Amino acid sequence: RKEVEQDPGPFNVPEGATVAFNCTYSNSASQSFFWYRQDCRKEPKLLMSVYSSGNEDGRFTAQLNRASQYISLLIRDSKLSDSATYLCVVNARYSSASKIIFGSGTRLSIRP
């Protein structure tokens, strides 16, 4: 089982729709969580950190469920510019060190 798993998609939704995807992680001692977006042939860019109480940034809402070990990203009123690959990032804690682990990404395509 991968340490961080994401549905690769692609998710193909119409402009204006609400879309959500999850990311599961296996290490229960994971400390911090992030969502990044990566456009084709570009570097990943931080979208938002994910806090225990859940957090919102405009049309984007991130949530953490420690009991079930997943994080989620919800995008409301999707725009064409939201088309990208969304990467889930988990900082997993092991006995001697922590390790940052990237999911393989979920591809999102918004159609007019």
Residues that bind another protein (CB under 8 A): 31-32, 34, 41-46, 49, 87, 89, 91, 97-98, 100, 102-105
Paired sense of beta strands 11-14 and 106-111, if any: parallel
Q: How far apart are CA 92 and CA 96, in angstroms?
A: 11
Provide the CA 7 distance to its chain's centre, in angstroms.
10
The residue among 17 and 100 lying less far from another protein, judged by its C-beta, is 100
The residue among 70 and 102 lying less far from another protein, judged by its C-beta, is 102
Least distance in angstroms from the C-beta of 36 to another protein: 8
The residue among 19 and 48 lying less far from another protein, judged by its C-beta, is 48
- Rg of the chain on CA atoms, in Å: 14
